[in-house]
Amino acid sequence: MRKRKNNLSFSTSINPRRPQSFKKLFSAKTRPLTAAIVGIALGDEGKGRIVDNKIQTFLNNKKVKKVAIVRFQGGNNAGHTVEKDNIKLALHLIPSGVLYKETINIVDRGVVVHPEDLVTEINYVEENAGKLDNNLFLSEEAILCTDLERAEESLNRMKSPAAKGGTGRGIGPAYAHHYDRLGLKLYHLLAKDWESTLFEKYKLYKKIFSTFGLKLEETVVPDYLQTLENKKAASREVGKEEVFLERLKKAREVILKRKLFRNTFPLHESIYKSRDTAVIFEGAQAAGLDAWLGTYPDVTSSNTSAFGIREGTGFWLPEDIEKIYGVFKIPYTSSVGSRIMPTHINTPNASGKKRMTKDQAWATWVREDAHEYGTTTGRPRDINFLDLPMLSYNIRMSGVNMLIGTHLDTANPTDKIKVCSQYLDKRGKRKSYQPGLRNLTGVKPKYVELSGWDGKECREVKNKKDLPENAKRFLGFLEDKLGYPIVAVTTGPSRENFISFRKS
């Protein structure tokens, strides 16, 4: 009897890394038309815009009919602004491609999903940008996060200052319970017996809270719906079990009715084989916040680099990807959380009477010029001088092969720009960057100063050669120090403020 040919079987005899049939399809080592976009600083680098630009680039390619955008880690602790046809949206969980008809948007198995917030975000997108075009898919294996994990995060904050920096979205506890195997997946919520599973979990949490003398139902958690309505951070109580279950039930019904969930594995198989589908892996947070290699303990709880794509999709490897872009802000780095980086500029609050130093005045100017305030919370972000030891380390550990710089317009001709070129230890000896806040304590940054330029002049520029000389010099300096090419920059807040230096 002739054996049925199984095109998708993972043959180990030829290449254990890739199915034989896939190998025949593409002779190149990487899968053509693939890109990953990851942050290499401390988050909020402007990755959403880069993803948006890459979607357009792919769609301008005649060979491409569809673009898949895959979120592989993080949850709605992230925030990115996307813009299309004068519609500007602040997204948190939904991939940046959702405004395009020709996209397949996947929230994959490595992502933490809070069902009610997801539904709120879908409604927000639809109210502001029109109906979603059946182009959003959730992995059934995504990590389920409810108000219980959020309440747990607030309990953790009481237990230890190490837990204080989190966004309150329950991301840490949700990932922790993936590792301790006590956590739930989206498929638990979709199952018939979901109510008893979640009721049991509620009872367990209630017991845990009572041992700390706390009432679970009165514990306050972020309220995304109210936040959107009030346009400022809002919170609510977890509520009694029936309230908790009712909220989840409503979100569950929407997910089921709209058939948002998928086994994403076959979806990836067909995307991989389709010659006219490009793929973008959309990173959230950044290498500096990576659970293992970031500023521990004030880190997020996932693998934020291109290496996280393996576990976050269960299918793709970083080696499959043609271009891995590391995104960073060119003249400075911003940070939210409790971490104090060696290059942190301690700005007094605006009402402070004290005269500001030159550095403080510059950081205050940067914060206003670049609007360095949280996407949802409006919280002012910390401003740090650009930190080359940290960036170099993050680039190396992220699997990045080229760089994209944002905020080239956040500069002025009168201020010099300070850049940390090296770390020195207490005795003035050179010290390497090592991950973890413990290793950054006591480190003294050594600075070099480079001349600034008229940032607003950059906005009109379409080619690298027409940029102000000092801006070009600064970019050259960074390429030289970081050892990687900067292939594009953004020069202002609108979509047009983007210069590609080469076919990237």
Query: Which residue's Cβ has the minimum distance to ligand IMP?
Result: 337
Closer of 153 and 320 to ligand IMP (Cβ)? 153
Decide if residue 305 touches ligand IMP (CB under 6 A).
no
Burial class of 445 by CB neighbour count within 10 A (0 to 12, 13 to 18, 19+): buried
Tell me the backbone φ, ψ of residue 106, rounded to 5 degrees: -115, 125
Distance separating alpha carbons of residues 39 and 282, to the nearest angstrom: 10
Q: Active-site residue among 52, 80, 117, 223?
A: 80
Q: Which residues of 39-49 are buried (b: 16+ CB within 10 A; e: fewer)?
A: bbbbbbbbbbb
Distance separating alpha carbons of residues 406 and 497, to the nearest angstrom: 10
* Helices 171-179, 147-159: crossing angle, 10 deg rounding: 100
Whether 305 and 14 have beta carbons less than 8 Å apart is answered as no
Closer of 115 and 172 to ligand IMP (Cβ)? 172
Closer of 372 and 409 to ligand IMP (Cβ)? 372
Mark the segment that binds ligand IMP (CB under 6 A) among 73-81, 132-140, 407-415, 495-503. 73-81
Distance separating alpha carbons of residues 411 and 455, to the nearest angstrom: 5
Decide if residue 336 touches ligand IMP (CB under 6 A).
yes
CB of 403 to ligand IMP, least distance (A): 19
Which of 33, 37, 43, 281: binder of ligand IMP (CB under 6 A)? 43
Distance separating alpha carbons of residues 307 and 407, to the nearest angstrom: 26
Mark the segment that binds ligand IMP (CB under 6 A) among 47-55, 71-79, 413-421, 449-457. 71-79
Mark the segment that binds ligand IMP (CB under 6 A) among 99-107, 134-142, 144-152, 169-177. 169-177
Of residues 126-165, which lie at the interface with ligand IMP (CB under 6 A)?
A: 165
Looking at residue 447, its amino acid is Y
Closer of 377 and 451 to ligand IMP (Cβ)? 377
Tell me the backbone φ, ψ of residue 396, rounded to 5 degrees: -60, -40
Q: Active-site residue among 44, 117, 147, 409?
A: 44
Closer of 360 and 375 to ligand IMP (Cβ)? 375
Mark the segment that binds ligand IMP (CB under 6 A) among 17-25, 46-54, 282-290, 444-452. 282-290
Distance separating alpha carbons of residues 388 and 40, to the nearest angstrom: 11
Q: Verify whether residue 44 is a known catalytic residue.
A: yes
CB of 306 to ligand IMP, least distance (A): 17
Quote the tokens at residue 455: 């940032």
DSSP letters for 290-305: -TTTSSTTSS-SS--S
DSSP letters for 155-209: HHHHH-GGGTTS-SSSHHHHHHHHHTT---BHHHHHSTTHHHHHHHHHHHHHHHH
Closer of 66 and 381 to ligand IMP (Cβ)? 381
CB of 375 to ligand IMP, least distance (A): 8
CB of 43 to ligand IMP, least distance (A): 3
Decide if residue 289 touches ligand IMP (CB under 6 A).
yes
**Residue 263 forms beta bridges with which residues?**
none
Decide if residue 298 touches ligand IMP (CB under 6 A).
yes
Closer of 286 and 499 to ligand IMP (Cβ)? 286
CB of 36 to ligand IMP, least distance (A): 17
Q: Which residues of 307-339 are buried (b: 16+ CB within 10 A; e: fewer)?
A: bbbbebbbbbbbebbbbbbbbbbbbbbbbbbbb
Decide if residue 169 touches ligand IMP (CB under 6 A).
yes
Closer of 172 and 399 to ligand IMP (Cβ)? 172
Which of 44, 116, 140, 149: binder of ligand IMP (CB under 6 A)? 44
Mark the segment that binds ligand IMP (CB under 6 A) among 124-132, 258-266, 283-291, 474-482. 283-291
CB of 166 to ligand IMP, least distance (A): 4
Whether 73 and 312 have beta carbons less than 8 Å apart is answered as yes
Closer of 206 and 329 to ligand IMP (Cβ)? 329
Whether 267 and 141 have beta carbons less than 8 Å apart is answered as no
Q: How many CA atoms lie within 13 A of 449 on its CB side?
A: 5
Decide if residue 115 touches ligand IMP (CB under 6 A).
no
User: Site for ligand IMP (CB under 6 A): how many residues?
Assistant: 20
Which of 172, 308, 326, 445: binder of ligand IMP (CB under 6 A)? 172
Residue with tokens 């992502």: 111
Distance separating alpha carbons of residues 17 and 11, to the nearest angstrom: 9
**Residue 68 forms beta bridges with which residues?**
104, 279
Decide if residue 78 touches ligand IMP (CB under 6 A).
yes
Decide if residue 171 touches ligand IMP (CB under 6 A).
yes
Mark the segment that binds ligand IMP (CB under 6 A) among 62-70, 297-305, 344-352, 384-392. 297-305
Distance separating alpha carbons of residues 269 and 18, to the nearest angstrom: 11
- Quote the DSSP letter at residue 191: S
Closer of 64 and 233 to ligand IMP (Cβ)? 233
Query: How many CB atoms within 10 Å of residue 413?
Result: 12
Mark the segment that binds ligand IMP (CB under 6 A) among 72-80, 103-111, 208-216, 433-441. 72-80
CB of 153 to ligand IMP, least distance (A): 7
Query: How many CB atoms within 10 Å of residue 497?
Result: 18
Largest CA distance in the chain: 88
Binding site for ligand IMP (CB under 6 A): 43-44, 77-79, 165-167, 169, 171-172, 284-285, 289, 298-301, 336-337
What positions carry a catalytic annotation?
44, 80
